[in-house]
Structure 1
Amino acid sequence: KPMTNYQIPQNTLLKFRIFNEFLMANERHVAKEVRDEYVDTMSKIYYSYFKGYSSRLTKLQYEEAAARDDLMGVEDTAKKGFFSSKPHMKNRSTVFTLGNRGEVLTTELEAPVIVPHAAAKNETRYSFECIFRSLHFALMDNCCREFLFISDFFMVSGAGSQNLFEAIMGKTLTLFLKLMEDSVQDCYDSIGIFLSAHIVYRYQSIMTKRNIPALDRYWDTILNHLWPRFEYIVTMNIQSVRECEPNKLGHIDNRPHYITRRFAEFSAAIVGISTTYPNDRVNRVLGQLQAEVENFILKMAAEFPHRKEQLIFLINNYDMMLSVLVERTTDDSKESEMYR
């Protein structure tokens, strides 16, 4: 299991903490040398481990992840390769449907980390949020252990504990922030980004319960990368629906439209997850998307020559949206009430 061997010498060190207490009381310069050596050694160990682990883990992400043109208003046929009849997206959950991806927030939240060589051997691939979870569960677990150890062994608390922790983990956290910044900027998987933000909320809660503030600033920085990206991707979807012209979609019938289905699935996914940690930014951008989808439905209905056909189309689309929302969210959610 990754990063467990070093805990054995740490546990041994704790047995001899009394000697460090003696040094701190009688030979402070020697005690400082011991501490500096520990900081230098552990800083290198953590950095080396997490650099290698993150590098191997990111290679396990789905090769064909959501791309810039995987938008709500883009036709399925428009996403096919030039020489292939297969859809652009494969071997992963669809862009707008949650499926079982929400398990990363429940049964998988504190599951063992992904072991890269085992996954590579089995040719297993993972979604954005699964890799994010594994990286950050490993980080959280090690940071909690380290924070508790240094507080105990070096007899520090408050700002002293935090400063010593940052001296040890600073390079590693900088590595993580750069990795997250790059991977988030390259990601067009809005549900993956959204799930990752909620992983952060839950890990924040775990560390708060453990009374360990070591990663408070780190979590806030990560959220400041994730939420703007989520809003950006959803805004791209809003624009794609706004620019979708019904008269260019070819044959239409009165069945629920694929844009309506995508919105219903996406909205249900976001609303269902948001109940634990509501977010005004999410509500605002989801409301904008909903308004554009409703405008699109009205434009589509107007393409039918007879009033009866228009009404049937509207009823079918709103009924489908309501059915999906009621099935996936609470009965009293604002979104499901809106379509009743």
Structure 2
Amino acid sequence: MWLDRLAHPSSGASTPSNSTRAYSPAPRPQQQQQHLSAGNQPNHPAFSPRSSSLSLSLSTPNASSSSLPNTQGNANSNTNTNGPLRRQNSSRLDQPGHVDPLEVLYNIIGTRPKTKDPPTISVIGATTGKPDTLVENIDFGELSLEEFIQQPKDIEPKEARKQSDVQTLEQYQTERDRFQDLHGAIAGCDDVLKSVESYLFRFQTDLGVVSAEIESLQSRSTQLNSQLENRRNLERLLGPAVEEVSISPRAVRLISEGPINLEWVKALNEFETRSANIEANATSNIKAVEDVKPLLSDLKNKAIERIRDYLVAQIKAIRSPNINAQIIQQQSLIRYKDLYGFLSRNHPALAGEISQAYINTMRWYYLSNFTRYNQALEKLKLHSNDRNELLGGDLNMQKAPFPGGRSPGVTYDPFALGRRMDILKSNNHMALSSYLAEEDKSVHGIEVPFRNFNLALVDNISAEFSFVTEMFATKSFHQSSRKVIEMFEPVFALGQSLTKSLIEPSADCLGILLCVRLNQHFAFELQRRKVPVADSYINGINMQLWPRFQKIMDMHTESFKRLAAATNTPSSSRGAVSALALTGPGGDTQSTAPHFLAQRFGQFLQGILALSSEAGDDEPVSNSLARLRGEFDALLIKLAKAGNGASGDGKRRERFLCNNYSLVLTIISDTQGKLATEQKEHFNELLKNSGGRR
């Protein structure tokens, strides 16, 4: 029976090679092999690992279920007929560690026969439950389970076994390569993990060292914080006292060795402040103060020495040719004015010597420059104006050359103001340069050189006074003013000499009055700039101009007197010629047209009034003009009588006077001011008295 063969195979039996049973290449589960080995069936071909069709056979229910009854019947018959054999098998199954093959089959097929009295086979030590691992995927083909078991084991064709071997070999090679790659990957991972392990080990070691160092630093930091706090507390207590008796090394080094600049000045101010504090604490018995005193004295002497050398060098630089002193004043002296202040406080004698050296240098500087400028102004061409150019003079007479030969006589009207008044209204406040003065070929009045010289003088005086008051601030206001006056004394003398040279040989009354008004403008400008140092110079110029103006006005008045006297002596040849020349144009003594003297007088009067529109009552213009006007009125009356005779037509004489008075009023009609109003009222009265209407 197949059950007996399954349960009791011969130990020496081998699987025949010509078995017709299909051989499955599917691998055999390990647990099933263990069960079979426990029943002494290690080489049964049904449990070969190469069986690949077992799963397909088990999946067909007809193949497995159709063979179960026969199998059970055969098993029962075998049991009944072979009692001794069953007993022999039962005696083997009773051995520990063996499993009933029938139970195995039942477990494989998953069903049991439906019998009332199923055979009970007790196996000692066997488990009745389903084994953990079952043999699956057995290919039964068209055979029943009984036929499948009874079929020869060597009937598998060689072709199938060869093909199965080839497949198994290919599968093995495939699996072998895959497992080799997997083995190599695992080995590489193992190496990487070993390196990571060593790195982590070293990192752990280094981390321990760092942790120890951090702990050391923490303790050190705590110690330093404690020391710092103690030092801060000490500095808070001793800092102010130490600051009062100490000077920074940087300041000391800078004062003794550094260049003189703004940083040097700051260090000097710091040194002076600390020195004052130390001197204030000199009465206290402090050891540090006594130790610092000699060092402060040496440093102070060094600072005084360096300041002296610096100021002397700058003063010497002013004496260089073609140097602009204002550049040195602004960039090298005013910028470091604290140096002189320190010197005056710590060494007054030396400061006085340096200030006197500066005064002497600037005295020479201004004198030399204004001398050259005066020489350039002397090259300007001026209108020649001699004594013959008077209101009652003869313009046909040959004019004398201008003293000094500055320019030949140029035809112009000396009694008309014209555009000469524009010099008072000019917006150009810059003096004419020396180069332009030397190159100028035009002819000017005496007011042009006078204005340029004094304008340059006012600008330089203002700049120098501002510099002195700021540089020598330790001096009083009067001391600074005296210093500036001392510097400009030679220049003041030069200006007075220039004014004298301009007005002495000239009879230009309008030009002199223009100089007077310019001088007044300069005085107002100096007052506006608050520069009082030139007051004496301004007053001196006025003392030159006003007397000369009055003298020339008197000369004009005398010229009218001479003409009036000439009209009274017609018998003399010269008097007759003068009378005929002055009577009328073309020698017409019967003409009632305005006389040319009235035209000349009207223009001259208009210029005087225009320049005196803002004149005060204290000026000598009013008195001089009143005398001149009186002589003019007397001359007109005599001319009227001389032209018409004693028994002549009185109406013609009145008409002659009216025409002359009307001409004068017409010329001065646009003038303004108190003096102009008085003159208009006077001539209106004369015109009314002469029978005319205005």
What is the CA–CA distance in structure 1 between the aligned matches of 2:612 and 2:440, rounded to whole Å?
34
**Cα-to-partner distance string for 1:299-323 (whole Å, 9 max, x where unaligned):** 0110213212211210110000000
1:195 paired with 2:525, answer no
Which of 16, 41, 52 is residue 361 of structure 2 equivalent to? 41
The correspondence of residues 124-273 of structure 1 with structure 2, limited to 5 A, is 124-155=442-473, 156-244=475-563, 245-246=566-567, 247=576, 248-250=578-580, 251=587, 252=589, 253-273=591-611
Which of 72, 90, 93 is residue 410 of structure 2 equivalent to? 90
What is the CA–CA distance in structure 2 between the aligned matches of 1:311 and 1:95, rounded to whole Å?
30
The correspondence of residues 31-110 of structure 1 with structure 2, limited to 5 A, is 31-62=351-382, 64-79=383-398, 89-90=409-410, 93-107=412-426, 110=428
- Report the number of matched residues: 329
Query: Who is 1:85 aligned against?
Result: none
- Classify the secondary structure of the residue corresponding to 1:339: helix
Query: Who is 2:334 aligned against?
Result: 14
What is the CA–CA distance in structure 1 between the aligned matches of 2:323 and 2:600, rounded to whole Å?
44
1:294 paired with 2:633, answer yes
Q: CA deviation at 1:89?
A: 4.7
- Classify the secondary structure of the residue corresponding to 2:426: coil
What is the CA–CA distance in structure 1 between the aligned matches of 2:323 and 2:680, rounded to whole Å?
48
Query: Who is 2:615 aligned against?
Result: 277
Q: CA deviation at 1:325?
A: 0.8
Report the AA paired with residue 136 of structure 1.
Answer: N
- Classify the secondary structure of the residue corresponding to 1:317: helix
Q: CA deviation at 1:128?
A: 0.2
What is the CA–CA distance in structure 1 between the aligned matches of 2:419 and 2:460, rounded to whole Å?
28
Query: Who is 1:326 aligned against?
Result: 669
Q: CA deviation at 1:273?
A: 1.4
- Classify the secondary structure of the residue corresponding to 2:341: helix
Report the AA paired with residue 422 of structure 2.
Answer: E
Report the AA paired with residue 539 of structure 2.
Answer: D
Report the AA paired with residue 36 of structure 1.
Answer: Q
1:311 paired with 2:311, answer no
Return the TM-score normalized by structure 2. 0.46
Change (3 A) 1:306 1:80: farther
What is the CA–CA distance in structure 2 between the aligned matches of 1:80 and 1:130, rounded to whole Å?
22
Report the AA paired with residue 114 of structure 1.
Answer: L
**Please, which runs of 5 or more residues in structure 1 have no aligned partner?**
82-87
What is the CA–CA distance in structure 2 between the aligned matches of 1:157 and 1:27, rounded to whole Å?
18
What is the CA–CA distance in structure 2 between the aligned matches of 1:321 and 1:116, rounded to whole Å?
42
What is the CA–CA distance in structure 2 between the aligned matches of 1:274 and 1:165, rounded to whole Å?
33
What is the CA–CA distance in structure 1 between the aligned matches of 2:678 and 2:650, rounded to whole Å?
29
Report the AA paired with residue 447 of structure 2.
Answer: E
What is the CA–CA distance in structure 2 between the aligned matches of 1:29 and 1:277, rounded to whole Å?
50
What is the CA–CA distance in structure 2 between the aligned matches of 1:200 and 1:188, rounded to whole Å?
19
Does the CA contact (< 8 Å) of 1:97 and 1:269 recur in 2? Answer: yes
Does the CA contact (< 8 Å) of 1:73 and 1:240 recur in 2? Answer: yes
Give the alignment's Cα RMSD to 1 decimal. 2.1
Does the CA contact (< 8 Å) of 2:592 and 2:655 recur in 1? Answer: yes
Change (3 A) 1:291 1:325: same
Report the AA paired with residue 190 of structure 1.
Answer: C
Among the aligned pairs, what percent are the same residue?
25
Does the CA contact (< 8 Å) of 1:60 and 1:116 recur in 2? Answer: no
What is the CA–CA distance in structure 2 between the aligned matches of 1:271 and 1:4, rounded to whole Å?
46
Q: CA deviation at 1:99?
A: 0.3
**Please, which runs of 5 or more residues in structure 2 have no aligned partner?**
1-321, 401-407, 568-575, 581-586, 685-694
Return the TM-score normalized by structure 1. 0.91
Q: CA deviation at 1:203?
A: 0.9
Report the AA paired with residue 626 of structure 2.
Answer: G
Q: Which has the higher contact order (CA 8 A, sep 6+)?
A: 1
**Cα-to-partner distance string for 1:197-220 (whole Å, 9 max, x where unaligned):** 111111101111111101101111
Q: CA deviation at 1:294?
A: 0.4
What is the CA–CA distance in structure 1 between the aligned matches of 2:487 and 2:453, rounded to whole Å?
18
Q: Runs of 4+ in structure 1 displaced over 4 angstroms? A: none
User: Which sits farther off after the overlay, 42-51 or 168-177?
Assistant: 168-177
Q: CA deviation at 1:79?
A: 4.5
Report the AA paired with residue 96 of structure 1.
Answer: F
**Cα-to-partner distance string for 1:3-42 (whole Å, 9 max, x where unaligned):** 9932111112111001110000001122122212211111
Change (3 A) 1:157 1:199: farther
Q: CA deviation at 1:119?
A: 3.9
Query: Who is 2:680 aligned against?
Result: 336
Does the CA contact (< 8 Å) of 2:454 and 2:495 recur in 1? Answer: no
Report the AA paired with residue 201 of structure 1.
Answer: Q
Does the CA contact (< 8 Å) of 1:61 and 1:128 recur in 2? Answer: no
